[in-house]
Structure 1
Amino acid sequence: MIQEMIMLDGNSLTIHEVAKVAREGAQVGISSESMKKLEQGRQMVYDMANSDIPVYGFTRGVGENKDRQVVARYYQEYNRNLILSHCLGVEPEAKEDDVRAIMLARLNTLLVGCTGVQPAVATMYMNMINNKIHPVIPQRGSVGEGDITVLSHIGLAMIGEGEVNYNGERMKASEAFKKAGMEPIVLGPKDGLAIVSSNALSAGEGALVLKDIEDLVDLADVVYALTLEGFKGNVTPLDEAAYSVRPYQGQSISASRVRKLLEGSYLWLPGVTDSLQDPLSLRGSCQIHGAVRDSLGYVKNHMLIQLNSSDDNPCLIMDENRIISCANYEVPTWTLGFEMLGLALSHLSRNACFRTIKLATPKFTGLSRFLTPADGRVLAYATIQKTFTSLDTEIRHLSNPATADYFSVAGDIEDHANNSPYVVQKTARIVDNLIYILGIEAMHAVQAIDLRKATRLGVGTKAAYDVIRSEIPFLDQDRNLSEDIRKIYKLIKSRKILDSVEKVIR
């Protein structure tokens, strides 16, 4: 089987391609133009090495040690020591798909040509990705001003002194290189700083989180549509005319999707619903999902800039034959966007919880209490509310902003931080909790549909219903619901529900 090849050039990497490389094992290549750019930048570095120009992280130290000179005969030793001294990350360790995304993010920003790194470093990133040699990277310890304390562990592996996961086995990097027919890299001027100083940890992991949120909000539309059918909800809030006079893009997209999902549903028949207006958690779902979509659009646009631009300090301006100190590692624009996404997702979560509670409440649905098939004999969903509301509590806590919590460090010279890695990672935890919450809502929705004996479902909701029922049967008697929750979680993660739905609503 020929694996897909994604050619990198420093300016056209997409979030979809990051997911392809990270999760589907797509190979990467480097364009010939990008290699030429790296060679030209490297020559600039050598020219400066032979001059008296003081350059941060190159002929001078880093952080408060910027006043310390680095002489040519110590370049290899200095760059090795820079990597060793910055290996400061703490567990948990990044998953292998995250590691691939992190390395890809750094490789592509190297190809912008502002680093001055030796081309062999870029080739090493490429070969490690393609040979599935994944450095062991602790996830915590970076404040986001360049992820120096964690990306250094990649450098450690590159020089053969760290640990990696290779073909499912943890081993020394030197051993993995030997098995793959590769050699550790020999560091030269500027190489150490180029490897350790970038936003690649938060950008690589962040790109995957954005891909997951993209899927999550699509799934939320599907689950909401199922809930409407289980609830026998009022569909007038989906009327296209309402959105034409209120043209927020995100809510219009969700409303359009829900209408397609419910095409052919019994809900559109005249006189079906008895409710003039449903609870807000049902009536305003497209607006809430739309807020997530609008937030997502903002962050995606800025993440694409991050993935396809230089976050190096100092920065080579090759057209002008200059190297300048800068703050391109500052990423408050998209870090704040992730904070916004966390808050938007907390609204989606709370809304889904209220919809699920309503589904189990007879005065709203006209169905049995807790959707039991046999009142007094089967408890059904009487206690499950504790599970999904506790998960929502975690989300509410995780949605609190953390980007503004920082210290002044490095001899008081580094007095700003973004905490972008933590902000991205807590957003990922929100997404994971939401998969459970939406899954539990979907379990309620299909149970309500069965109790209602609703056989005329929408074209999209019927596809989703069939996939769910293929794994989780009708709750006719009490059973271990943790198993059902686990099954629906895995179904959602596998994209089987979304894939099935998308085939019929295109």
Structure 2
Amino acid sequence: MEKVVIDGYNLTLEDVVKVARGFYHVDISTEAIDKIKASRQLVDKYVDEEKVVYGITTGFGKFSDVAISKDEAEELQRNLIISHACGVGNPLPEDTVRGIMLLRANALAKGFSGIRYSTVTTLIDMLNKGVHPIIPEKGSLGASGDLAPLSHMVLVMIGEGEAIYKGTRMSGKEAMEKAGISIIKLTSKEGLALINGTQVMTAIGALNVYDCKQLLKLVDIAGALTVEAQRGIIDAFDPKVHQVRPHPGQMESAENLRMLLEGSTFKTRQGELRVQDAYTIRCIPQIHGGSRDAIKYVEEKVSIEMNAATDNPLIFTAEEEVISGGNFHGQPMALAFDFLGIAIAELANVSERRIERLVNPQLSGLPAFLTAKGGLNSGFMIMQYSAASLVSENKVLAHPASVDSIPSSANQEDHVSMGTIASRKAREIYNNAVNVLAIELLAAAQAIDFYEGYELGKGTSIAYNEIRKSIETLNEDRIMYTDINACSQLITSHQIVKKVEEVVTLH
């Protein structure tokens, strides 16, 4: 059985994808089990002593000064979950929900949360047996953690809420029964340990970063095809140019272009047809490279957050201390995901400008809108409209969420991150960018079909063939959205990148 073992410290982006999308089995390490149990013993000690500790023997937020007796511990934790499950909007996708559950279990495995080991195993059993809570996408401020959406996850653990089990939506209680998982009763600290954290924003962001890393390869492929369709000048990608401005992303993108275009007879040298190309062709390494470096930064932040203890209070067993802090605050993620959204939006922006160069006869030297019978046929005219609409929407979505804050809990929580909004926006920008790049690939392939007697590059020829396996050359007008959808599927399935990488290893 293929599995991922969690210990709170070593979870990778690839591990998250394996569990979220590949349905790998999840186990917890022996060392992590010992830490969880030791942390719980300290919580039980404080409860027995009726020591005043936030979230264990007190209320929450503004109610932190209200003492809670030992007899009320279970009721307090249940009330926390049912009152905080205030999410609205469409349910998050299955892979995101699985990512959330995995990240929450991994945070608990660090042993700073004071939760019972049996409660952690319930969450892991849900993952392994395919019980996926219905978690509405909206309702988190991203500062006391993702309280509302995580509460919807926990509802199912206590036999409430709704879940998807084997493709069917049903009550949480029914899903747990069908999967053979016992419903639990939360006790002191457990409700807070399960919902006080940044796992929703981080799961959405982690899966997005993984997909964006694949998209970085695809945008270089799309750019290279457009270079060929425009008989672009290869000198601008010379390694000497990029070594004197050694940003890693820029150098990687330039090298990708050189490898993809190796052997191409479409490419030209400076002065052969023209002295220099427009920026959207000549500056592909610089533009794509900037987004590469931004996404690499975000990946570093996500990797830290995936293995962080983000709830409150934290239990330090060695010192026998319980400290109320602010690790639930999503600001590090909020800024990173705003940056991610901007980086992806720029990839779509430059792609749309390359599309314009392909369809505009004054810029391309090709038939207007890439159709041989213009007038009777509109060709790619409205394809560019659609791309322009998507990049314009992305500009709105790229406005940072992290610069906003609305005080909550009677001003006890007087600065919030809006990090979950930032992560959701970045995902929507990614979805739009995929469709823009699909249009560029189609336009570039169509433009190439107007040439005769030329050979594509080592890598671009593979990409072109993959496109043409699914989408025929446009000879007469036809329904175009199906072409866009088919090409988008080639992108999101990573089919084009996988095939190209059989002959060219891309950065």
Taking structure 1 as the reference length, the TM-score comes to 0.97
CA distance in 2, matches of 1:296, 1:48: 44
Q: Is the 8 A contact 1:235 1:267 kept in 2?
A: no
Match of 1:283 in 2: 282
CA distance in 2, matches of 1:108, 1:61: 26
Match of 1:24 in 2: 22
Write the deviation string for residues 109-143 of structure 1: whole angstroms up to 9, x where unpaired: 11111100011121011100000100111110000
CA distance in 1, matches of 2:463, 2:421: 34
Match of 1:373 in 2: 372
CA distance in 2, matches of 1:485, 1:269: 30
Q: Is the 8 A contact 2:233 2:270 kept in 1?
A: no
Q: Is the 8 A contact 2:57 2:67 kept in 1?
A: yes
Match of 1:211 in 2: 210
Determine helix, strand or coil for the equivalent of 2:106: helix
Determine helix, strand or coil for the equivalent of 1:170: strand
Determine helix, strand or coil for the equivalent of 1:208: helix
Total equivalences in the alignment: 504
Q: Is the 8 A contact 1:42 1:116 kept in 2?
A: yes
Q: CA 1:307 to 1:51, structure 2 compared with 1: closer, same or farther past 3 Å?
A: same
Q: Is the 8 A contact 1:233 1:275 kept in 2?
A: no
Q: Is the 8 A contact 2:134 2:153 kept in 1?
A: yes
Q: Is the 8 A contact 2:135 2:150 kept in 1?
A: yes
Question: How do 1:102-501 residues align onto structure 2 when only pairs under 5 Å count?
Answer: 102-145=100-143, 146-268=145-267, 273-453=272-452, 455-501=454-500
Write the deviation string for residues 269-305 of structure 1: whole angstroms up to 9, x where unpaired: 6689512111111111111111111111111111111
**Which blocks of at least 5 consecutive residues in structure 2 are unaligned?**
none
CA distance in 2, matches of 1:289, 1:271: 22
Residue identity in the other structure for 1:14: T
Shift in Å at residue 345 of structure 1?
2.2
Question: How do 1:61-100 residues align onto structure 2 when only pairs under 5 Å count?
Answer: 61-100=59-98
Determine helix, strand or coil for the equivalent of 2:501: helix
Percent identical pairs in the alignment equals 37
Q: Is the 8 A contact 1:267 1:273 kept in 2?
A: no
Residue identity in the other structure for 1:486: N
Q: CA 1:259 to 1:76, structure 2 compared with 1: closer, same or farther past 3 Å?
A: same
CA distance in 1, matches of 2:157, 2:272: 64
Determine helix, strand or coil for the equivalent of 1:503: coil
- Larger mean Cα displacement after TM superposition, 265-274 or 401-410: 265-274
Q: CA 1:268 to 1:281, structure 2 compared with 1: closer, same or farther past 3 Å?
A: closer
CA distance in 1, matches of 2:185, 2:330: 31
Q: Is the 8 A contact 2:295 2:343 kept in 1?
A: no
- Larger mean Cα displacement after TM superposition, 368-377 or 382-391: 368-377
**Which blocks of at least 5 consecutive residues in structure 1 are unaligned?**
none
Determine helix, strand or coil for the equivalent of 1:466: helix
Determine helix, strand or coil for the equivalent of 1:301: helix
Q: Is the 8 A contact 1:61 1:67 kept in 2?
A: yes
Residue identity in the other structure for 1:29: D
Aligned-residue RMSD, C-alpha: 1.3
Q: Is the 8 A contact 1:222 1:461 kept in 2?
A: yes
CA distance in 1, matches of 2:75, 2:190: 11
Match of 1:49 in 2: 47
CA distance in 2, matches of 1:427, 1:444: 26
Shift in Å at residue 455 of structure 1?
3.8
CA distance in 2, matches of 1:33, 1:422: 35
Q: Is the 8 A contact 1:34 1:111 kept in 2?
A: yes
CA distance in 1, matches of 2:83, 2:380: 54
Q: Is the 8 A contact 2:355 2:443 kept in 1?
A: yes
CA distance in 2, matches of 1:166, 1:272: 63
Shift in Å at residue 333 of structure 1?
2.1
Shift in Å at residue 502 of structure 1?
0.9
CA distance in 1, matches of 2:384, 2:227: 19
Q: Is the 8 A contact 2:141 2:416 kept in 1?
A: yes
Q: Is the 8 A contact 2:234 2:269 kept in 1?
A: no
Taking structure 2 as the reference length, the TM-score comes to 0.97
CA distance in 1, matches of 2:267, 2:65: 73
Shift in Å at residue 374 of structure 1?
2.8
Q: Is the 8 A contact 2:88 2:139 kept in 1?
A: yes
Write the deviation string for residues 76-135 of structure 1: whole angstroms up to 9, x where unpaired: 111111111111100111111110001111110111111000111210111000001001
CA distance in 1, matches of 2:160, 2:224: 53
Q: Is the 8 A contact 2:359 2:380 kept in 1?
A: yes
Residue identity in the other structure for 1:432: N
Shift in Å at residue 383 of structure 1?
2.4
Q: Is the 8 A contact 2:291 2:344 kept in 1?
A: yes
Q: Is the 8 A contact 1:117 1:194 kept in 2?
A: yes
- Larger mean Cα displacement after TM superposition, 51-60 or 238-247: 51-60
CA distance in 1, matches of 2:308, 2:382: 50
CA distance in 2, matches of 1:237, 1:462: 21
Q: CA 1:165 to 1:273, structure 2 compared with 1: closer, same or farther past 3 Å?
A: farther
